[in-house]
Structures are given as structure tokens and as C-alpha cells.
Amino acid sequence: MDIARTPATPDGNPEMADAAVEPKAPPEIRREDYAPFPWLVPTIRMEFDLGLEKTRVRTTMDVERNPAADASPTIRLNGDGLQPVSLTCDGGDCAGHMMDGDDLVITLEGDRHTIEIVTEIDPSGNSQLMGLYASGGMLCTQCEAEGFRRIAFFPDRPDVLSTYTVRMSGPKAQFPVLLCNGNRTGEGEGGDTHWAEWHDPWPKPSYLFALVAGDLVARTDSFTTMGGREVELNVWVREGDLDRTEHAMESLKRSMKWDEEIFGREYDLDLFNIVAVSDFNMGAMENKGLNIFNTKYVLADPDTATDGDYDGIEGVIGHEYFHNWSGNRITCRDWFQLSLKEGFTVLRDQLFSADMGSAPVKRIEDVRVLRGVQFPEDSGPLAHPIRPDSYREISNFYTSTVYNKGAEVIRMMRSMAGEELFRKGTDLYFDRHDGEAATCEDFVKAIEDGTGLDLVRFRRWYAQAGTPKVVLKLEHEGETAKIRLAQTVPATPGQPVKEPMPIPLKLALFDRSTGKHGGEELVVLGEESAEFAFDGFAEKPVLSINRTFSAPVSIERAVPREDLVFLAARDDDPFARYEAMQELMTGYLVAAVSGDLGENEREAARADIARALEAVIEDDRLDDLMRGELMMMPSHSYIAEQMLVAEPGRIHAEREALKADLGARLASPFHALYDRAAKIEFSLGAEAKGARKVKTLILGYAAASDPAKAVELAAWQYDRADNMTDRQGALMVLAGLDSVERTDKLLDFYNRYRGNALVIDKWFALQASSLHPQVIEHVKALSEHADFTLKNPNRVRSLYMAFAANPHGFHAADGEGYDLIADLILELDPINAQTAARSVPPLGRWRRIEPGRARLMREALDRIAAAPRLSRDTFEQVTRSLG
Ligand code: ARG
Ligand code: ZN
């Protein structure tokens, strides 16, 4: 029996829990402690009496002993801030019950019982946005990972699967639309209230439960599955937003078709609903048959959404839809297995987007996110394996590691197996585990059995954190080219010693004179080190390595700059071409920041980079979308990542100086390219999209080399823009430059879009991420703006997360940027802990920053740690970051 903190009174109403200070360290949950739940809950019926301030929930569940678990005399039902209003077992008194902290523990003597519990909640007071909450007058839910326990007492863990029947009733005028998972099985009305009953035939864990009640309108369409099922599709939004839902609907239909063709997965209900809500902690949620989305990933038209927004919507709609199989039909046994559904589903959405647009550009974008966000995470205090071993708050593990590195790990299996065999592996996985709560091990085993690969050592990718480093040497003797590879996996928190991991590397060896190679090879570095020899090279070849970014590793090699110039101009793998450009610029910037370059060397390197970039501008085999990728400079965070200890001020200065130098040297080819691109008329097609991309990149170079000219050109682009991409691009450049036009256009933008929350978010973000010298003053002023609120996560992100990702502001030498973020965290934590905790990682980078700033960053973290009542979320992130 568990230790009771709050004894229950005989009538079933526990006394008020002592509202004392929360214990300082919330408990650590460990993967190795997993045990199946002693009870099954095959069916659950819920009745919601809906109100914004008071919602009453009657939950009736049938429970029976789990033959696969150790017997227990009690059942533990998780709660979070709930009190049972009433409680019965089999229609009468329970044999015993008590509150243990937030949980309700009930004594059960028999093998089968029916438990009925009533709870009452206040959705309007729920600012955490977990559980049932109010958003702009409507009611909606977010239950992943542990939000269901804020609605009802229940075994809130992903391995307890139940069939749900839900009756919801409420005032008709306030909530004309009532939605839940599955199919609607009944409806009716009486007086001012109405009700709907929903049944979801597919057993699911509580985190996939969802409910929506509000005044909404839908774009409706349909899709006929490969098996002939006619599915009704709805995208639900507020009245005024309906004409911005076409792209979401089209993306949904394309996702459904694609998953049938590529993974053989068919939809399994007659109805698929998507609802857009403006207050949402994350991007979207895959609740069975009722996906709930952040409006940001639903609403788009050319006047208000950028090309990036369009791509984001397609990707996230796909992602949530694909979860229906990778997540819902097969879910996770426990939250340590999160990457089972997230890593795999990210891979699926990446492959989908690649098929819908430019595959090479999509691959480059994905790698940029991985290296810009996941690599820093993996080399810092928050590093964890894609299958973590412990956590205090699971919300902190919805990370780029679990999502993006998780996708890379599965992508490696796909590369080693080949597409066809990989499909055999995934077919087997879906077939073998349908209806189950599975583990990452189950997935790997299915891929192993389906493909015939030996993945014994490969499993280490699930267990070990840290980005492997591969040191490469290319030697040439006689006719033979030899590649020596050696890997190390760096120590990470809790994992001082690592084992080597199989690293699949695609490579090609180019003949210098013909510019051709004899075919791409895939080598797997399975040990600590290995050597691969290739014959038939009279001259030392040019090596193109880790093509398509076949492994999520960093490669260290001494490579002559002329080889990079060669690859940047001619590599037939577009990713490798991009990589060569990045390596050229990164190599120079790291050396320049470290003070390793004399003036002659600087000049020689800059000239080479300019030559390579000019070749890119003038290469007419390239489309502009790809050209834009090749024109991009490596990000500040990527450059910092290459250095053991970074000096943010110097990185920024050198990066801007290189941009200015290239802008000046290439002024005339840039100008010609801009002119050509400016003639292309607006459309959502690839050509016009590419034109918009290169135009704004050129503005960025001009801003560094010739600010006055850039202001003029950006103002011109802003004024004649007939779409958000051009307008935002121009405004972004203007936001960084002191000028009358800056003020004018920012004001114009605000007035034009006032009242459109998603666009006003952009207005905040543009200023918070600007290169303007007074960016900190701007952010402070914006935090006082009438449109700013800590209650809306999109708005918080648009101001503060944009700022924290702006090295030029965040890393101000006097620590003011750090203080700003620490103040935000302290103020936001009691309102929305999940969002507050997500601002901690930028401060956690202190070990890799020069000592002066590192001290200031630590001080900011110490100040947060000293606060009397931190949420579990923020507590965990801050203590790990101080580590
Ligand atoms: N499963 C959702 C997705 O990846 C994310 C939900 C995250 N929720 C949270 N509270 N952290 O699409
Ligand atoms: Zn997901």
C-alpha cells in the first residue's frame, strides 16, 4: 500500500491537501522500473457537462485484473489538481480509498469492478493549456503526455488502452459544435442545451483523448481510401478564417494518399476532423480522429503566410495524420519510448514533404534544423539518448533529439536496407504490433526481421547520447585511394564511456580532371576505426563524404580549400554541394574567430568563397530554391558548435564581416540575379518560390555591405509585395537597419495586419530577431505592448524565443539578454510551465561560451533555481543546466 499524504475522510471526500511548498526535487522516473499496470480498463464512458468556468465530468470505467501483471490490492488513478466529487465502486461504497498526493488510490477486492467518479474542473482558469482549457471562448483539450489526469482520475499512462464512449452536453449558443474522437453516434437538444454522443471503436491510451466545443465552421471535403472507405474530412476554424483553410485541406488529402502509396497505410474511420486553436503549447496533436492544431499550422493565404508557413503546414498536417498508424494504431508502452512514434513519424513527414516538393532542398532544411538545434542539445547539459533512461517531467523530453535525431536513426536503417527492404520492415512492424503499446526494441526487431539487417550494434544509437565525431584521412598511393575513418562518441551527462556505433557513410571519389566519379558507395564504419581502399586513381581524387547526410555525425578532416570549391561547383549530390559551401564558409569563420588567419590568408579564403558563390549564382542548371540553399551562410549556432569555447561577439562580427565582403564583391551578380527574380510573378510554384528566396537572401547580403542601398531596395520590395514572403523578407532586413523606412514599414505592417494574431506574431518576431543595435530595448518595449501577453504561447515564442535565438541580442556582453530571459522564465513559470521550461536551454549553453558571459549565464540560472516554487518542468531543466 502506498503512503498516504492526505488521508481520506469516511464520506469519500479527502480533506484539502496541505498547500505547503512543493518538495524541491520532484522524483526521477526511470525506464528500468517499468512494470505493466495491474489493471486493464477495457471500456470507459465519460459524460461532460460543459461550461467555461465549470465543467462536470462523470467517468465510468470497467476495470479487470491484468493477467500479465503482478496482482495488486489497489488501483492507482492519476489525478492532477482534482478532487473526487463523488466516487462509487459497483454502484456502492468502495472497500477503501485515499488520496496519495494527487492520485486517488482505491482498494479493489474482486477481479472486475465498475468505478464511477465525478470531478469538476475550471477550464477558464487553466493557463497551463494541459487538460481541458478555454481558448477564445471555445473549449478544447491537450492530453499528451499527462494532461488527461487534469480532467479525470485514470491510469494516465500510454499502455492502458480503452474503448471510449463520450457524451458531451452544453449551452447550444455558446458551443454549437461538439466534437470528440471517433464517430458521432447520437445527438439531441432540449431548451438551451444540446448534446452529442461519440464512440471511438479503436482502443486508445488516455493521451489520445480529445474534445472540442465551440462556435466553429468547417471546410468539408472527402477522401476515398484505397479500400473504398469514404471519409468525411473537416477543418474547423473560427468563422473569419475559413478562406485560409484550403492549403491545410489539400495537404491532408495528399497525406492520406501518400501514406497509402508509400507505407501501405489506410485510414480507419469514416471521419477525420482537424480543429485550429490559437492557444496551444506545441504545433499540433494527433488525437484519434480529432487532430487539434495550433492555428499557425492550419491557416494560410498568400497575403498572410510565407512560403515557409505553407511548407510548415503541409509537414505538420502530414505528421499528425501519419501518427494515426505510427502512434495511434501502434502506441508507446511508456514515455521513454516516445521516439518510437515521434522519430518514425518525423521521418515519415520528411519523406512526404520531400516527395511533395524539392527533395534535396527538404533534406538540406532538415539537416539545418538537426545541426542548428539537435547538435547543440547533444553537446550540452541536456543531452539524452533518443530513448532516455530517466526524467522528472516528460514534457521536457519532447526534444529535437527524440524527434529529429530519432528520425535520422531510422533513416540510417532505411539507407542500409534500401527502400524496398525497409518497406518490408515497416510492414512487418505495423502488422506485428497493431493494437499494441510497443517499444523501440520492438521496432528495431521488426526492421531487423523484415530487412535481414543485423542491427545488434546499431541499437546503441537508441542508448547513447552525443553526436559521434568521425575523423577522416584520405591518402593516395600508386593507383589507390585510402580512406581511414575513426569514430569517437563524446561523453554526455550520465554516460562517461561509449561504445562505437555503426555509421553508414555514403561517399563518392571524383576524378579531378574529368569532374566525374565512378558511382556512389555506402561504407559502414562498424568499429572504432576502419580503412577502405579504392583502386583506379592515378591522381588523388576529391572525396565527397556523408552524401545526403547519410549519418548524423560530424566529420573532421583536413580538406584543401580547392577541393571544397570543386565540390561546391560540381558535386552531383545537391546536399554535398551545399555541404561544401558550408564547409568553405565555416572553415574560414572558425579560423577567423580564433585569430588563426593572417591578412593574406583571410584575403585568399574570402576570394575563394566569393568565387564559389559566384559560380552558384551563375550556374544555370540550378533552380532558385536550391541556389538559395547554396547562398546561405552557416548559422551563428552552427559556427559556435564547431568551437570548444565560443565568443559570441566575435562570431557575430566575423560572420557579418564576411557577409559584407561577399555582398561587396558580388554586388553586380547579386544585382542581376535580383532583377531576374523580381520579374517572376507570384505563384505558389517552385520557380516563384525560389525567386522569393533568393531575393531576400540578396537583401541580407546588401544590408551588410551597403546598408543605404539595402534600405532602399528593401523598402521597394516591401511596397510592391503582393505576398507575405516578400513583405516579411523585406521587413526583416529593414528591422535590422536604423532608418526612417524601418519605422514606417513596421508601422504599416502593424496597421495592415492588426487583429490577425499570426501575422502580429511575425511583427514581434521580426523585431526580436533583428540585427538592430538596440534590439534589447525593442524587446523590452514590446513586452509592454498592448498586444503582448504571457497567456498565449505563440506570442511568447514570437517575442522571447525569437530573442533567445538571436545571438546578437541574447549574448549582449553585459548579460542583459540573459536577465531578460531569466525574468521571463520566472514570470511565466506559474502561468505556463511547459513554455517557461522551453526557454531554459539557451542559458544552459554556458559551458561552451567564453568565461565572462558563462558566469553571467550561470548567475541567471542560479537566480531561477533560487525561486521558491518552481514547476517540475522548469526545476528539472534548470538543475540539469547547472549540472
Ligand atoms: N504528439 C504531438 C506531436 O508530435 C506533440 C504533443 C506534445 N505535447 C506536449 N505536452 N509536450 O505531434
Ligand atoms: Zn508527433
30 lies in some domain: yes
Same domain for 504 and 613: yes
Say if residue 145 is preceded by a cis peptide, omega within 30 of 0. yes
Residues 287-335: tens digit of each pLDDT: 999 999 999 999 999 999 999 999 999 999 999 999 999 999 999 999 9
Q: Write the DSSP assignment of 34-50 as a string of letters.
A: ----SEEEEEEEEEEE-
Question: Nearest to residue 645, comparing CAs of 351, 832, 848?
Answer: 848
**Can you name the residues that pair with 535 across neighbouring β-strands?**
480
State the CB neighbour count (10 A cutoff) for residue 17.
Answer: 13
Residues of the chain with pLDDT > 90: what percent? 97
Instruction: Give the pLDDT of residue 738.
Output: 96
Q: Which residues have CB under 8 Å from 679's CB, separation 6+?
A: none
ipTM (interface pTM): 0.98
Q: Output the CA angle 249-255-259, nearest 5 degrees.
A: 155
CA of 281 to the centre of ligand 2 (A): 13
- DSSP character for 6? B
Closest C-alpha residue for ligand 1 atom 8: 144
d(CA 99, CA 206): 21
Same domain for 407 and 485: no
Same domain for 480 and 455: no
d(CA 210, CA 238): 18
Instruction: pLDDT band for 10, please (50, 70, 90 cuts).
Output: very low
Instruction: Give the pLDDT of residue 840.
Output: 98
Q: Which helix (H) or strand (E) holds 265?
A: none
CA of 721 to the centre of ligand 2 (A): 35
d(CA 37, CA 129): 27
308 lies in some domain: no
Domain count, the chain: 3
Q: 308 — phi, psi (to 5°)?
A: -65, -40
The whole domain housing 753 covers 472-882
Residue 386, Cβ density class (10 Å: 0-12 exposed, 13-18 middle, ≥19 buried)? buried
Instruction: Give the pLDDT of residue 9.
Output: 36
DSSP-derived pairing of the beta strands 96-100 and 521-525: unpaired
d(CA 253, CA 247): 10
Instruction: Give the pLDDT of residue 655.
Output: 98
Same domain for 88 and 175: yes
Instruction: Give the pLDDT of residue 156.
Output: 99
Span 77-84, average pLDDT:
98
d(CA 59, CA 88): 11
Instruction: Give the pLDDT of residue 238.
Output: 98
Same domain for 430 and 511: no
Same domain for 241 and 356: no
Closest C-alpha residue for ligand 1 atom 5: 285
User: Can you list the alpha helix ranges (DSSP code H) found in 473-598?
Assistant: 561-570, 574-593
Same domain for 722 and 644: yes
Q: Are 714 and 708 in contact (CB under 8 A)?
A: no
Ligand number nearest CA of 335 is: 1
d(CA 860, CA 858): 5
Q: Write the DSSP assignment of 200-251 as a string of letters.
A: EEEEE-GGG--EEEES-EEEEEEEE-TT--EEEEEEEE-GGGGGG-HHHHHH
Q: Which three cell numbers stand for residue 60?
A: 465510468
Q: Which atom of ligand 1 is nearest to the CA of 316?
A: 12
Last residue of a domain, one of 463, 494, 509: 463
Residue that has been written with the C-alpha cell 542548371 in this structure: 621
Span 15-34, average pLDDT:
72
Instruction: pLDDT band for 732, please (50, 70, 90 cuts).
Output: very high
Region of poorest pLDDT, from 3-12, 172-181, 317-326, 841-850: 3-12
Span 402-409, average pLDDT:
99
Q: Is the dihedral of CA 267, 272, 276, 277 positive or negative?
A: negative
CATH code for the domain in which residue 430 is found: 1.10.390.10
Closest C-alpha residue for ligand 1 atom 11: 395
Ligand number nearest CA of 144 is: 1
Residues 459-511: tens digit of each pLDDT: 999 999 999 999 999 999 999 999 999 999 999 999 999 999 999 999 999 99
**Helix 599-618 / helix 667-678 crossing angle, nearest 10 deg:** 20
Instruction: pLDDT band for 566, please (50, 70, 90 cuts).
Output: very high
304 lies in some domain: no
CA of 691 to the centre of ligand 1 (A): 34
Instruction: Give the pLDDT of residue 83.
Output: 98
Instruction: pLDDT band for 12, please (50, 70, 90 cuts).
Output: very low
Instruction: Give the pLDDT of residue 147.
Output: 99
315 lies in some domain: no
Q: Output the CA angle 655-596-554, nearest 5 degrees.
A: 65
Q: Which of 133, 282, 346 to mutate to test the pocket of ligand 1 (most atoms within 8 A of CB)?
A: 282
Residue 11, Cβ density class (10 Å: 0-12 exposed, 13-18 middle, ≥19 buried)? exposed
Instruction: Give the pLDDT of residue 595.
Output: 95
CA of 284 to the centre of ligand 1 (A): 7
d(CA 677, CA 690): 8
Closest C-alpha residue for ligand 1 atom 12: 285
**Pocket-forming residues, ligand 1, beta carbon under 6 Å:** 144-145, 281-282, 284-286, 319-320, 342, 395, 398, 834
Question: Nearest to residue 213, comparing CAs of 272, 249, 147, 166?
Answer: 166
Q: Write the DSSP assignment of 848-882 as a string of letters.
A: GB-HHHHHHHHHHHHHHHTSSS--HHHHHHHHHHH
Q: Which residues have CB under 8 Å from 356's CB, separation 6+?
A: 254, 258, 314
Q: Is the dihedral of CA 159, 160, 166, 170 positive or negative?
A: negative
Same domain for 428 and 537: no
Residue list, CB under 5 A from ion ligand 2? 342, 345
Residues 656-695: tens digit of each pLDDT: 999 999 999 999 999 999 999 999 999 999 999 999 999 9
Instruction: Give the pLDDT of residue 2.
Output: 33
Q: Which helix (H) or strand (E) holds 768?
A: helix 757-768
Closest C-alpha residue for ligand 1 atom 2: 285
Residue type, 287: N
CA of 621 to the centre of ligand 1 (A): 41
Q: Are 387 and 463 in contact (CB under 8 A)?
A: yes
CATH code for the domain in which residue 565 is found: 1.25.50.10
Residues 138-167: tens digit of each pLDDT: 999 999 999 999 999 999 999 999 999 999
Residue that has been written with the C-alpha cell 476532423 in this structure: 273
323 lies in some domain: no
Using DSSP's 3-state secondary structure scheme, residue 365 falls into helix
Instruction: pLDDT band for 19, please (50, 70, 90 cuts).
Output: very low
Same domain for 812 and 692: yes
654 lies in some domain: yes
State the CB neighbour count (10 A cutoff) for residue 576.
Answer: 25
- Average pLDDT over all residues of the chain: 97
Q: Which of 130, 142, 143, 144 to mutate to test the pocket of ligand 1 (most atoms within 8 A of CB)?
A: 144
Instruction: Give the pLDDT of residue 105.
Output: 98
Ligand number nearest CA of 834 is: 1
CA dihedral 792, 793, 796, 798 (to 10 degrees): -110
Residues 96-114: tens digit of each pLDDT: 999 999 999 999 999 999 9
Instruction: Give the pLDDT of residue 466.
Output: 98
Same domain for 477 and 447: no
Last residue of a domain, one of 463, 485, 517: 463
CA of 316 to the centre of ligand 2 (A): 8
Residues 597-629: tens digit of each pLDDT: 999 999 999 999 999 999 999 999 999 999 999
Residue that has been written with the C-alpha cell 449551452 in this structure: 171
Cα–Cα distances in angstroms (integers) from residue 797 to residues 382, 561, 770, in the given order:
20, 40, 15
Q: 367 — phi, psi (to 5°)?
A: -70, -35
Residues of the chain with pLDDT > 70: what percent? 97
Q: Output the CA angle 790-794-800, nearest 5 degrees.
A: 65
Closest C-alpha residue for ligand 1 atom 3: 285
- DSSP character for 330? B
Residues 416-433: tens digit of each pLDDT: 999 999 999 999 999 999
pLDDT at 171 over 60: yes
pLDDT at 20 over 80: no
Cα–Cα distances in angstroms (integers) from residue 312 to residues 305, 361, 535, in the given order:
10, 14, 45
Instruction: Give the pLDDT of residue 440.
Output: 99
Q: Which atom of ligand 1 is nearest to the CA of 327?
A: 1
Question: Nearest to residue 262, comparing CAs of 390, 396, 352, 371?
Answer: 352
Ligand number nearest CA of 145 is: 1
Q: Which three cell numbers stand for residue 779?
A: 524587446
Span 199-217, average pLDDT:
99
Last residue of a domain, one of 446, 463, 480: 463
pLDDT at 7 over 50: no
d(CA 784, CA 797): 15
Q: Which atom of ligand 1 is nearest to the CA of 394?
A: 11
Ligand number nearest CA of 343 is: 2
CA dihedral 421, 427, 431, 434 (to 10 degrees): 130
Out of 146, 197, 314, 320, which one is annotated catalytic? 320
d(CA 381, CA 841): 9
Q: 534 — phi, psi (to 5°)?
A: -130, 130
Same domain for 444 and 492: no
**Helix 574-593 / helix 561-570 crossing angle, nearest 10 deg:** 150
Instruction: Give the pLDDT of residue 3.
Output: 34
Instruction: Give the pLDDT of residue 541.
Output: 98
**Helix 707-720 / helix 686-705 crossing angle, nearest 10 deg:** 150
376 lies in some domain: yes
11 lies in some domain: no
| Residue 320 known to be catalytic | yes
Instruction: Give the pLDDT of residue 21.
Output: 46
Cα–Cα distances in angstroms (integers) from residue 393 to residues 281, 406, 483, 787, in the given order:
15, 20, 44, 31
Span 181-200, average pLDDT:
98
CA of 285 to the centre of ligand 1 (A): 6
Q: Find the radius of gyration of the CA atoms of the chain.
A: 28
pLDDT at 1 over 80: no
Residue 39, Cβ density class (10 Å: 0-12 exposed, 13-18 middle, ≥19 buried)? buried
d(CA 204, CA 79): 19
CA of 176 to the centre of ligand 1 (A): 27
Same domain for 476 and 427: no
